[in-house]
Structure 1
Amino acid sequence: MSFHLADPCLWCIEGSSPAGVHHIIGPVYKPCPECLPICPDCAGTAVFPADFVCIGCFQGQMATLGLVPAFCPGCSGVAYLVRTDTLPEVTPHADH
């Protein structure tokens, strides 16, 4: 068996490495520590949800749980989740 990937790194898939399953977000990725520099803003702690088609869909799912994701300004990953008493109105994609 052989693989013909555009990215020869054995640690990642096109720059993203599987980072486990977050207890709220679900499966997540992180930028590959072998291929990419560590984000100076979050020190590489931000994660990227694997099970969402778009950011609006992700925000909508988190809103149903009473959570708002805070995104890292450097890498745009989810740095942390904020619990809120008021649910924000989010308009996700209608067509996927």
Structure 2
Amino acid sequence: MSPLTARRHDCPMCIDGFQPVGIHPVLGPVLVACEFTRMCTACGGCSWFPTDRTALTLRANRLAASGYAITYCLACLGISDVLPIKGDPR
């Protein structure tokens, strides 16, 4: 179970405490914390969780090589923002 999941519930859209929200243009398929679980108080449950299980540092390095910087929520380790790197010619 996810550390964000506070209790069992019967949410039909929930996958282990997360709900699919679509395909992010940079991150690909992403999930957010299910609204019926305990939300992260730092990001308010707004951080994205990519469906691929790439390690945090590897993901950051791959995105930097593609011209993007990511910001992680330090409480839940979800991605709270994806920004183009300034001065990157891409």
TM normalised by structure 1 equals 0.68
Equivalence for 1:29: 31
Runs of 4+ in 1 over 4 A off after TM superposition: none
Q: Any idea what the Cα deviations from partners look like across 1:20-67, whole Å, max 9, x if unmatched?
A: 111111100111111x12222212221011124322331122112121
1:14 — aligned with what?
Answer: 16
Unaligned stretches of 5+ residues in structure 2 = 1-7
Q: Which whole-Å CA distance do the structure 1 matches of 2:74 and 2:54 have between them? A: 20
RMSD: 2.4
Question: Is 1:41 aligned to residue 42 of structure 2?
Answer: yes
- Extract unaligned runs of 5+ from structure 1: 1-5, 88-96
C-alpha distance in 2 between matches for 1:75 and 1:66:
24
The alignment covers a number of residue pairs equal to 81
Identity, % of aligned positions: 27
Which of these two proteins has the greater Rg computed from alpha carbons?
A: 1
Query: Which is further off, 52-61 or 69-78?
Result: 52-61
